Structure 1
């Protein structure tokens, strides 16, 4: 009898931990490929990126998430998501940044069936989540996570998108197809204003609204970075000698605001159409405000397990610039042709070709696997282009 009791106790030691962690989900994907890439057109050979073959990581990641039922329709939720950035070259990208734990959407929060979700941590803004590239139902970023991804703060489209550190987020339940989200990123640096000497508050506020009705998806968003200014007659964040980091540059009362609208529809016969428009205003260091917009149209067609995707987008002229500055010099455009083929539910083949054409003072770059012609930047006037093939395995 004692032997049987001892065996039961030993067995329970193995059973209890399994039961305690049964709600933890491991997820993610590995995606990589080989491509030919270059960025030329600047006119100065030493500031161009000559044609070469690259092995690339397509934004691979691993995540852990779970929840606990608190009763009354409320759950405690958590997530830790980490980038597997540039796994093909040991976890360090071309800018010298290393992949570390919790670099992607990582939070703790509450999920209530009636009120929605509240998240605390480092997470995509409501602007990005509901009205940008993170809204997979909207699908306007046709080759998301690849080199041909064109949504990012230094890209042609989606320049207001951001993962907000030190932030709190709220996402509503879906009400008759509508979902509302809000984000607040807090400024913990509180740098000193260069002129007044007072402390700045470079917080970030973001709103997003999405609507889904069958195959129809619509969205709009607003995002504002406070106490943030740009260099005169540019759309580049000002970074003075006393101001680190650049996004909290100590320019009290100088704000950057972005607005967007987007929509898409997928027909029963597999044809997808989508569109995106974004408008930005930038308060300048020396006074005044410059403006710039961007837009994109996207098409797709499914053929069973295969899909073909096409997109074209433009970054418009910089408006309200000073005398002697040509706003058209800041224009850029990008075309994307891509395709995917699903070998199974978790394995996909992909191929793409894309080119960004930058005018003389524009330096729009790829959102993933950007090209650096000098140090860790792309010299203005260079035209990044790439074509490649790859494979993605989800888990």
Structure 2
């Protein structure tokens, strides 16, 4: 009996010794995620007087991720993150700028210019590896939200819902929301400065892709810049982004067209202020391009945005408004969006919400929902929807 017990103790000791390094090696890994689902009733009102109403269950950016860091000494850390969308409604991952999914579009107007181009894995979200130093800042490479996108994300009171501000902000009439700005591209190298008394900045460079091209054709490139001031109740930001579209047949920034010098660019200013239980935010965005005939702008326009939230204990009352101006050289191509709703926080991690949103398109405009677009839409059609949803983060 004693011999048996000794052997058992020895086996336990060996197993412990073998597993201890593995546990230590993974002890800095954090598992996190979000489950976000909504029950929607969406309606498309066509100009001929007909209407199309659809009831559905929609996934709103559900995700799972793993992240961690390793202390390398002297204030330096290795940082990493792997994050993937879940699409819990069983649908496809394609569909909007914020989730960085596959974009299918015509040449010259696709995901940063590509025709039928994916920014990396179809469901892959922010995924990167890098080095971080408290005094010097952070360098990352991977698939990352552009600084242009992330600089104003906090202004959106209905982020990752049917009323997401990307219905109009960063979008363009007649172009899929994946196709213009507020993107999450692959092949990104980014640098974020430390925080200097509330001031910080982020710069990102997007490579056109790994595929080589022949002759004088190019894969293109893009760069994105964002500056932020975040102190107390006040938040201010300015951002700029430019896409230099390549003329090659491959690469995520290539148009597939034998045309050089095609480009898109945008800038925006944003601000938010909180006083007691009330938060007010505003933003102005201006986009431009030379994708039209003879190099004129095909989708350039301006967008105004305003949002507000009033917190009453567990209840948050929210509203926001966006107005997209007419596309350059296209009459009656503007749109307006109205969204109202309320959240109820069961806890810090679990929230239920209800909202109503409507996009009123001018006669030549065709804006739609960035997440799970309303079916049967056409130029001049208004789209609207009620959504009752729930979010749980872990």
TM-score range, shorter chain: 0.7 to 0.9
Q: Aligned partners of 1:243 and 1:40: how far apart in 2?
A: 39
In the alignment, which of 1, 5, 13 is matched to residue 8 of structure 1?
A: 13
TM-fit CA distance, 1:115: 1.4
Q: Classify the secondary structure of the residue corresponding to 1:15.
A: helix
TM-fit CA distance, 1:339: 1.3
State the Cα deviation string for residues 241-269 of structure 1 (Å, max 9, x = none): x966785214311211100000000102x
Q: Aligned partners of 2:331 and 2:318: how far apart in 1?
A: 29
Aligned twin of 1:79: 81
User: In the alignment, is the contact (CA less than 8 A) between 1:67 and 1:76 conserved in 2?
Assistant: yes
State the Cα deviation string for residues 35-62 of structure 1 (Å, max 9, x = none): 11022224385xx7x1021111111111
**Equivalences for residues 108-123 of structure 1 within 5 A:** 108-123=129-144
Q: Aligned partners of 1:160 and 1:224: how far apart in 2?
A: 9
Q: Aligned partners of 1:123 and 1:288: how far apart in 2?
A: 30
Aligned twin of 1:154: 171
Aligned twin of 2:392: 393
State the Cα deviation string for residues 276-299 of structure 1 (Å, max 9, x = none): 100111113432433410011111
Q: Classify the secondary structure of the residue corresponding to 2:294.
A: coil
Q: Aligned partners of 1:155 and 1:284: how far apart in 2?
A: 13
Pair 1:121–1:102, CA change in 2 (3 A): farther
1:298 equivalenced with 2:307 (yes/no): yes
Aligned twin of 1:255: 263
Stretch deviating more after TM superposition (56-65 or 2-11): 2-11
The RMSD of aligned alpha carbons is 2.8
TM-fit CA distance, 1:167: 1.1
Pair 1:394–1:90, CA change in 2 (3 A): same
Pair 1:309–1:155, CA change in 2 (3 A): farther
Aligned twin of 2:158: 143
TM-fit CA distance, 1:172: 0.8
**Structure 1 portions without partners, runs of 5+:** 134-138, 230-241, 322-326
Pair 1:100–1:284, CA change in 2 (3 A): closer
Aligned twin of 1:136: none
Aligned twin of 1:363: 366
Q: Aligned partners of 2:217 and 2:224: how far apart in 1?
A: 22
Pair 1:5–1:21, CA change in 2 (3 A): same
Aligned twin of 1:222: 240
In the alignment, which of 297, 321, 325 is matched to residue 316 of structure 1?
A: 325
User: In the alignment, is the contact (CA less than 8 A) between 2:95 and 2:370 conserved in 1?
Assistant: no
Aligned twin of 2:110: none
Q: Classify the secondary structure of the residue corresponding to 2:165.
A: coil
Aligned twin of 1:124: 145
How does the TM-score come out when normalised to structure 1?
0.83
In the alignment, which of 195, 201, 205 is matched to residue 174 of structure 1?
A: 195
In the alignment, which of 275, 278, 284 is matched to residue 271 of structure 1?
A: 278
Q: Aligned partners of 2:261 and 2:121: how far apart in 1?
A: 34
Pair 1:198–1:379, CA change in 2 (3 A): farther
User: In the alignment, is the contact (CA less than 8 A) between 2:244 and 2:253 conserved in 1?
Assistant: no
Q: Classify the secondary structure of the residue corresponding to 2:187.
A: strand
Pair 1:190–1:333, CA change in 2 (3 A): farther
Q: Aligned partners of 1:43 and 1:247: how far apart in 2?
A: 38
User: In the alignment, is the contact (CA less than 8 A) between 2:219 and 2:246 conserved in 1?
Assistant: no
User: In the alignment, is the contact (CA less than 8 A) between 1:155 and 1:364 conserved in 2?
Assistant: yes
TM-fit CA distance, 1:18: 2.0
Paired positions, count? 358
Q: Aligned partners of 1:275 and 1:25: how far apart in 2?
A: 34
Pair 1:223–1:108, CA change in 2 (3 A): same
User: In the alignment, is the contact (CA less than 8 A) between 2:171 and 2:181 conserved in 1?
Assistant: no
Aligned twin of 1:39: 44
Q: Aligned partners of 2:170 and 2:331: how far apart in 1?
A: 19
State the Cα deviation string for residues 187-243 of structure 1 (Å, max 9, x = none): 125668xxxx731342110000010110100000000001369xxxxxxxxxxxx96
TM-fit CA distance, 1:90: 5.6
